[in-house]
């Protein structure tokens, strides 16, 4: 049996199962977007079947568009659209009863199951880093929540946690290096005007990171 044969068999099974979920689901852009996110950066297995299936961002986006084409809907072009690896409850409710379950894919290393349709490693799978932050406002949490909401908007491809009871939270994002992830979060805090409400949990090696910066659109990052 070839190295990628279990992947192809599972992909065929997934395609066949999804084809049976009904036109309403396949026409629903929100559900199909959540399906794309759930199929990326995760390894899926099917009860009674051998191996795991994990799709590249491109292959997952193509599969979504293939399914939509069967019900006469235009492609969504979701590749690298954000939220990759997020598992929404609506997807679990559809795939779970069909015998499918999943686990997060370790994209910080070369997982042998994370491949393109032709067996090439996914070029989009940069490692994910977590940048620890904390909320400065201890009493006026409303302003802090608004600042964190703006931070989420400034980081559309990242996952920003809600602060815990101590005000600590993290930003999870993909980048070529941890240093680059720090720079991206730093720029986003400035762009969101969140300097007065959010700070790094530890002092990053970014010159002047403690200074409040104006939220100028298109401003260059720190050098």
For residue range 123-151, what is the model confidence (pLDDT) as tens digits?
Answer: 445 677 888 888 987 777 888 889 999 99
- The whole-number pLDDT of residue 108 equals 52
Model confidence at 174: pLDDT above 50: yes
% of the chain beyond a pLDDT of 70: 78
Beta bridge partners of 134: 168, 199
pTM for the model: 0.52
> What is the average per-residue pLDDT within 6-10?
83
d(CA 69, CA 105): 28
Model confidence at 68: pLDDT above 90: yes
Please name which of 125, 139, 113 lies closest in space to residue 6, comparing C-alpha atoms.
113
DSSP 8-state symbol, 53: B
Model confidence at 217: pLDDT above 80: no
d(CA 223, CA 113): 38
* Integer angstrom CA distances of residue 44 from 18, 55, 87: 14, 9, 11
> What is the average per-residue pLDDT within 34-53?
90
- The whole-number pLDDT of residue 91 equals 93
Phi-psi region of 150 (alpha: psi -120 to 50; beta: other; left: phi over 0): alpha
Q: Indicate the CATH number of 128-200 among 3.40.720, 3.30.1240, 3.90.25, 3.30.70.
A: 3.30.70
């Amino acid at each position: 049996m070839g190295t990628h044969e279990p992947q192809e068999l599972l992909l065929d099974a997934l395609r066949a199962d999804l084809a049976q979920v009904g036109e309403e689901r396949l026409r629903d852009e929100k559900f199909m977007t959540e399906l794309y996110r759930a199929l990326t950066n995760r390894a899926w297995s099917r009860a009674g079947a051998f191996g795991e299936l994990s799709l590249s961002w491109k292959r997952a986006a193509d599969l979504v568009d293939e399914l939509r084409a069967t019900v006469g809907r235009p492609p969504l072009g979701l590749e690298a659209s954000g939220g990759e690896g997020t598992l929404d409850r609506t997807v679990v409710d559809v795939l779970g009863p069909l015998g499918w379950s999943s686990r997060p894919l370790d994209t910080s290393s070369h997982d042998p199951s994370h491949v393109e349709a032709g067996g090439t490693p996914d070029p989009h799978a940069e490692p994910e880093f977590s940048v620890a932050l904390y909320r400065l406002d201890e009493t006026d949490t409303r302003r802090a929540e608004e600042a964190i909401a703006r931070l989420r908007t400034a980081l559309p491809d990242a996952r920003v946690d809600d602060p815990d009871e101590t005000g600590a939270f993290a930003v999870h994002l993909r980048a070529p290096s941890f240093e680059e992830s720090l720079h991206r979060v730093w720029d986003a805090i400035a762009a969101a005007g969140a300097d007065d409400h959010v700070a790094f949990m530890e002092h990053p090696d970014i010159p002047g990171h403690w200074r409040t910066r104006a939220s100028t659109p298109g401003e260059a990052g720190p050098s």
